[in-house]
Structure 1
Amino acid sequence: MTVNTPSGRGDTPPADADPLVPLASLPGVADAVDGMRVAVDRVYGHRVMRRRSAEITAEATLRGARGSAALAGADWALEEIRRRSDFSTDREALVTGAALRVSAEAGQLLDIWRASPLRVLARLHLVAAGGDRGSGGGAGGEVTAGTHGAVGRPRLVGERVDDVDGTGLPLPSVDEVVGRLDGLARLIVAGSAAPALVTAAVVHGELLALRPFVSHNGLIARAAERIVLIGGGLDPKSVAPAEVGHAELGAVAYREALAGYASGSGEGMSAWIAHCGKAVELGARESVAVCEALQRGAA
């Protein structure tokens, strides 16, 4: 999908200049928004959240990272991730380590996102690839001579993309990526009157369809979705990790819903937004379970 973005910056644009508002009126989207809000409100209304919200946020961050890594081919048990201290041993470990770093970093970038989303995306790729330690990052996170210069910037002509999420979508050209990324950034900076779920789903879908980096595009797209949900006020404490829900719904359903987004049809878009809404619901349900376990003294 190519979004016709407004050129203005700053205040939320009027509805007729806001390309996301019509998406909120697609069949099934309002129900998805309502269902998601009910699930998220249940987490925030839990008595444990009043006393131990920082613990719930930390646990949601960890579980979100695990879910995102699972969709990228590293489906490890949560206990294994807790136990590990070394994530440099093999490809799955590298992916899991990248997911943990991206998930932790995303929560620190909200203020920058509102003003410079492309800068945040570059930072997330740098962190995913381990570039914040002065290394280059290749496919799956390993350092290779051919990918050192590709860390922290969109891909160039001729650079290979490691599509570990198996999107199955045609890879857009570099010129298309540049144009659509710029449009997406302008849309984010301008703001939208559409529900946060709609914006988050579009950001997620657009980044995964574009695959702007040589690696880790799925991890980055899912982290960006979470940033939008936090910044949009839906989940300010980040306790409803959509990544958990995406993993629970499964890779096949994820790819099918993404194909609907990429088609640009109203039916495909509504199916993708509803899929993202269901993922947030499931993430919220996971955090309710964590709250109840803490309440029982079992976690």
Structure 2
Amino acid sequence: MPTPTDPLAPLLSLEGVPSAYAAARDGIDVLLRDRGLRRTSPDLTAESLLLGAHASAVLEGSASTLDEVRAGEGDEIARDAVRLSTQALSVAPLLSSAPLQAFARLHALAATGSVEEARLGRPRDPESAARLRQIADLLLGQTRAPALLVAAIVHADLATAAPFASHNGLVARAAERAVLVARGVDEKSLTVPEAGHLAFRGAYESNLRGYRDGGQAGLHAWLLYAPEAFTKGAEASPLR
């Protein structure tokens, strides 16, 4: 039988990409190893998820402060982000077996109460459904690409395809975190990639536009941006 083609293999030949992802992964591994994963508690994961929910909500347009979100007093976007974050990790195992179900579940968690029930977890149109299948195939296939790179591609594809009726940014960032869990980068979800994106908000938003509209150059720029955000997200970990 022919060997399956690795769709991400060409990305590993782009200048600076392999070394950037290796450095980001090394930094995350050092953080998690040095702090001793066996000594961490569920409270640290909960804090990481809360920090991520707040950062993701701000990127989605929320005006709520972290203190307001922590007190349960955030605006609607923040409440949606928190609801999503509290359940997102339970979706991670589906990414390796039923990613379409995982994406649908993430959207349903984020958008409950904001869109009619019939649209929860459902793609907007046939083109959106096809894009979701492409992203799912990426997760189901075999690749030599680093897990961080896979997470970055899933994030950008979901954010720029906007396949759901609403909350696509929240879903994309939650999916990125879930990939990091599912692929063993950060199994207890102690880093805060959403905070990394918020810290670099201007670059984050411009690189997503470039990914959508900029062809190969835009793709390359996103791939070089993402490891910086992952590194910044590790610095935001409550482990520190």
TM-score, L = length of structure 1: 0.74
Residue matched to 1:205:
156
Contact 2:69 2:79 in 1 (8 A): no
Contact 2:84 2:106 in 1 (8 A): yes
Select the residue among 211, 216, 219 that pairs with 1:261: 211
Select the residue among 95, 106, 117 that pairs with 1:124: 106
Contact 2:25 2:148 in 1 (8 A): no
The code of the aligned residue for 2:236 comes to E
Residue matched to 1:151:
120
Structure 1 moving runs of 4+ over 4 Å: none
CA distance in 2, matches of 1:198, 1:291: 23
- How far residue 117 of structure 1 moved from its aligned partner, in angstroms, is 0.9
Residue 104 in structure 1 maps to residue 86 in structure 2: yes
CA distance in 2, matches of 1:48, 1:233: 15
CA separation of 1:76 and 1:43: change in aligned 2, threshold 3 A: farther
Select the residue among 136, 141, 163 that pairs with 1:185: 136
Secondary structure of 1:17's aligned partner? coil
Secondary structure of 1:237's aligned partner? coil
Secondary structure of 2:46's aligned partner? helix
Residue 286 in structure 1 maps to residue 210 in structure 2: no
CA distance in 2, matches of 1:35, 1:237: 20
How high is the sequence identity, in percent, across the aligned residues?
40
Q: Flag structure 1 segments of 5+ consecutive residues without an equivalent.
A: 1-7, 88-92, 131-135, 139-146, 156-173, 293-299
CA separation of 1:184 and 1:291: change in aligned 2, threshold 3 A: closer
Select the residue among 265, 270, 275 that pairs with 2:225: 275
CA distance in 2, matches of 1:180, 1:273: 20
CA distance in 1, matches of 2:61, 2:195: 14
Residue matched to 1:137:
114
Residue 61 in structure 1 maps to residue 49 in structure 2: yes
The code of the aligned residue for 1:78 comes to L
Residue matched to 2:188:
237
CA separation of 1:47 and 1:228: change in aligned 2, threshold 3 A: closer
CA distance in 2, matches of 1:21, 1:36: 19
Residue 249 in structure 1 maps to residue 226 in structure 2: no
Residue 30 in structure 1 maps to residue 18 in structure 2: yes
- How far residue 61 of structure 1 moved from its aligned partner, in angstroms, is 0.9
The code of the aligned residue for 1:234 comes to V
The code of the aligned residue for 2:9 comes to V
- How far residue 279 of structure 1 moved from its aligned partner, in angstroms, is 1.3
Contact 1:113 1:120 in 2 (8 A): yes
- How far residue 127 of structure 1 moved from its aligned partner, in angstroms, is 1.1
Contact 1:28 1:270 in 2 (8 A): no
Select the residue among 163, 170, 174 that pairs with 1:219: 170
- How far residue 193 of structure 1 moved from its aligned partner, in angstroms, is 1.7
Give the paired residue count: 240
CA distance in 2, matches of 1:102, 1:274: 28
CA distance in 2, matches of 1:178, 1:152: 11
CA separation of 1:49 and 1:255: change in aligned 2, threshold 3 A: same
Select the residue among 23, 43, 47 that pairs with 2:35: 47
Residue 19 in structure 1 maps to residue 7 in structure 2: yes
Select the residue among 95, 100, 104 that pairs with 2:77: 95
Bigger Rg, structure 1 or 2: 1
- How far residue 17 of structure 1 moved from its aligned partner, in angstroms, is 0.4
- How far residue 55 of structure 1 moved from its aligned partner, in angstroms, is 2.8
CA distance in 2, matches of 1:191, 1:62: 32
Which structure is richer in relative contact order (CA contacts within 8 A, separation 6 or more)? 1
Contact 1:137 1:151 in 2 (8 A): no
The code of the aligned residue for 1:233 comes to G
Contact 1:118 1:185 in 2 (8 A): yes
Q: Flag structure 2 segments of 5+ consecutive residues without an equivalent.
A: none
Task: Tell me which moved more, 59-68 or 21-30.
Answer: 21-30
- How far residue 214 of structure 1 moved from its aligned partner, in angstroms, is 0.9
Give RMSD over aligned pairs.
2.1
TM-score, L = length of structure 2: 0.91
